């Protein structure tokens, strides 16, 4: 069996690794448009802040050699031709496959005029991140402006601050990380960012990057502009699907897959940020672009390629913020029919409930309860009987075990 995998990110590499674990003979070709060994994007900030390589190259830089995987770096797939079971590379070369996995991830989504001007940086790949860090280092003591205060934008702001730049962020929403945090948790994060000296401007919409041959400013809807030495776009991500045009593989925002992560074309699967799967709790179609989903999907794809009938349970929404000096965790929905809340200084716990079940939670300052909440959420456990004990600072796995035992015995805690 010859399996060709497009993309050597966490999803692509995990498909290759899982396949190899069960099949010593399969020919596995892993294609990457970047020149590096497979890496983990969540570790990029740490890599640049500390110089550490271990978490960046999370399976070791020699992983493909060890696994006997044919890793071809610096090649870009430009077309997929399912009728002849071939893909086309940017040099015009074609590659045959028996099974194809699309694991091409996502790239920056910045629908802003001037986004392609030289001098506009992003942090979506190791190639892009290196260029940004080099520019940041060469402009230490100067100014940076970041458009977008989402999760990746905040990571960039902290990094550029560490590199010695004065950082301004513009965000059109009324809070930082608007798709991830409720307003109260966002307030705590905003205060921590301001403590670090980051100038965050909310409800400030950028209308584009200005300049003729290179970026010379950020234009704002108010009519004013911001000049800086380093310009960064951090406005979102979009699945890498451009090369699928004419292939017959159905895609909307991402590649549409079924519950076995098969695409609309036989023997072609998709996993990771490129795949439009469905939410574990709501069943709604969505691209959940986070690392754990990419890895779980990749394992499901590999098992199906191996002939095991494996169903994907659905994606989770989950994110954590590192490097802020304050742990923050966001899981699931941002509101529910009911809300449980506690706050002691910066230590905040907010749990959102619908129909007596946890549908999401936000934690700041202390995230030790995250595992227990998540477990209750995924099990769709009825937590009405536990009630406000969920917010107890000592609420822990012990409480979970007790709750499970009580449920079995049909006992209930006094709320
Ligand atoms: C700065 C940053 C921080 C993050 N932090 C977190 C975090 O804390 N927690 C978390 O859960 N998630 C985090 N994420 C998201 C996480 O990194 C992604 O969900 C994960 O990397 C998805 O893996 P993937 O393999 O699907 O895609 P990617 O990692 O995007 O890898 C896809 C690869 O395919 C290659 N490729 C694309 N098109 C082609 C083509 N045509 N031909 C050949 N190769 C191609 C790309 O170059 C890329 O190397 C973060 C992402 C970034 C950028």
Q: How far apart are CA 159 and CA 163, in angstroms?
A: 6
Fold of the domain built from segment(s) 120-235: FAD/NAD(P)-binding domain (3.50.50)
* Pocket lining: 97 vs ligand 1, CB cutoff 6 Å: no
Look at residue 404 and tell me whether its pLDDT is greater than 80: no
Please, which pLDDT band fits residue 397 given cuts at 50, 70 and 90?
low
* Pocket lining: 77 vs ligand 1, CB cutoff 6 Å: yes
Beta-carbon contacts of residue 414 (< 8 Å; ≥ 6 apart):
none
What local confidence, expressed as pLDDT, does residue 21 receive? Answer: 97
In tens, the pLDDT along 147-192 reads: 999 999 999 999 999 999 999 999 999 999 999 999 999 999 999 9
C-alpha count within 13 angstroms, C-beta hemisphere, residue 26: 27
What local confidence, expressed as pLDDT, does residue 403 receive? Answer: 57
- Of 24-28, 271-275, 397-401, 411-415, the range with the lowest mean pLDDT is 411-415
Please, which pLDDT band fits residue 396 given cuts at 50, 70 and 90?
low
| Higher per-residue pLDDT: 379 or 414 | 379
Average pLDDT, the chain: 93
CATH architecture of 326-408: 2-Layer Sandwich (3.30)
- Residue closest by Cα to atom 53 of ligand 1: 124
What torsion, rounded to 10 degrees, do the Cα atoms 22, 26, 32, 35 define? 90
* Pick from 315, 320, 351: nearest CA to 333: 351
| Higher per-residue pLDDT: 46 or 346 | 46
Pocket residue to mutate for ligand 1, from 11, 39, 41, most atoms within 8 A of Cβ: 41
Residue in this structure with the two tokens 């934008």, named with its chain if needed: 153
CB atoms within 10 A of CB 98: 13
Distance (Å) from CA 288 to ligand 1 centroid: 12
* Pocket lining: 44 vs ligand 1, CB cutoff 6 Å: yes
Q: How far apart are CA 29 and CA 68, in angstroms?
A: 10
- Does 2-107+238-305 match 120-235 in CATH topology? yes
In tens, the pLDDT along 225-260 reads: 999 999 999 999 999 999 999 999 999 999 999 999
| Higher per-residue pLDDT: 176 or 388 | 176
Q: How far apart are CA 268 and CA 102, in angstroms?
A: 7
Distance (Å) from CA 124 to ligand 1 centroid: 7
- Residue closest by Cα to atom 47 of ligand 1: 33
What local confidence, expressed as pLDDT, does residue 415 receive? Answer: 29
Gyration radius of the chain over CA positions: 23
- Domain residue ranges of the chain, discontinuous segments joined by +: 2-107+238-305, 120-235, 326-408
What local confidence, expressed as pLDDT, does residue 405 receive? Answer: 56
Please state the pTM of the whole predicted model: 0.93
* Pocket lining: 103 vs ligand 1, CB cutoff 6 Å: yes
DSSP 61: T
* Pocket lining: 122 vs ligand 1, CB cutoff 6 Å: no
In tens, the pLDDT along 81-115 reads: 999 999 999 999 999 999 999 999 999 999 999 99
- Residue closest by Cα to atom 38 of ligand 1: 104
* Pocket lining: 153 vs ligand 1, CB cutoff 6 Å: no
Element (H, E) at 40: none
Percent over 70 (pLDDT), the chain = 95
The residue-averaged pLDDT of 313-336 equals 91
What local confidence, expressed as pLDDT, does residue 325 receive? Answer: 87
The residue-averaged pLDDT of 384-413 equals 64
Please, which pLDDT band fits residue 412 given cuts at 50, 70 and 90?
very low
The residue-averaged pLDDT of 44-73 equals 96
Q: Looking at domain 2-107+238-305, which of 3.40.50.620, 3.50.50.60, 3.30.420.40, 1.25.10.10 is its CATH number?
A: 3.50.50.60
344: left (phi over 0), alpha (psi -120 to 50) or beta: beta
């Amino acid at each position: 069996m010859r399996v060709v995998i497009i993309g050597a990110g966490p999803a692509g590499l995990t498909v290759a690794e899982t396949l190899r674990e069960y099949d010593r003979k399969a020919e596995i070709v892993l294609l990457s448009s970047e020149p590096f060994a497979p890496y983990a994007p969540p570790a990029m900030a740490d890599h640049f802040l500390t110089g550490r390589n271990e978490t960046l190259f999370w399976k070791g830089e020699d992983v493909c050699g060890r696994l006997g995987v044919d890793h071809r770096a610096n090649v870009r797939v430009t077309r997929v031709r399912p009728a002849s079971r071939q893909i086309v590379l940017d040099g015009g070369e074609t590659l045959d496959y028996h099974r194809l996995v699309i694991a091409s991830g996502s790239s920056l989504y910045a629908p802003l005029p001037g986004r392609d001007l030289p001098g506009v940086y992003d942090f979506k790949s190791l190639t892009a991140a290196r260029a940004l860090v080099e520019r940041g280092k060469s402009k230490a003591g100067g100014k940076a402006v970041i458009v977008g205060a989402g999760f990746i934008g905040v990571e960039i702001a902290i990094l550029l601050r560490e590199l010695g730049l004065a950082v301004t962020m513009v965000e059109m929403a009324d809070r930082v990380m608007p798709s991830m945090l409720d307003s109260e948790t966002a307030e705590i994060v905003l205060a921590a960012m301001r403590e670090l000296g980051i100038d965050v401007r909310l409800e400030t919409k950028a209308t584009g990057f200005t300049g003729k041959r290179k970026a010379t400013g950020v234009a704002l809807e108010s009519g004013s502009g911001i000049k800086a030495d380093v310009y960064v776009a951090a406005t979102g991500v979009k699945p890498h699907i451009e090369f699928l045009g004419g292939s017959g593989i159905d895609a909307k925002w991402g590649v549409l897959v079924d519950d076995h992560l098969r695409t609309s074309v036989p023997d072609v699967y998709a996993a990771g940020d490129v795949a439009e799967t469905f939410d574990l709790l709501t069943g709604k179609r969505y691209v959940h672009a986070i690392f754990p989903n990419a890895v779980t999907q990749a394992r499901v794809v590999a098992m199906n390629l191996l002939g095991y009938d494996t169903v994907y349970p659905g994606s989770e929404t989950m994110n954590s913020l590192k490097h802020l000096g304050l742990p923050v965790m966001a899981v699931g929905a941002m509101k529910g029919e009911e809300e449980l809340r506690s706050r002691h200084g910066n230590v905040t716990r907010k749990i959102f409930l619908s129909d007596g079940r946890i549908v999401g939670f936000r934690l700041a300052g202390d995230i030790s309860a995250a595992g227990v909440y998540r477990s209750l959420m995924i099990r769709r456990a009825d937590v009405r009987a536990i009630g406000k004990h969920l917010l107890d600072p000592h609420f822990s796995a012990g409480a979970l075990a007790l709750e499970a035992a009580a449920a079995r015995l049909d006992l209930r805690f006094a709320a």
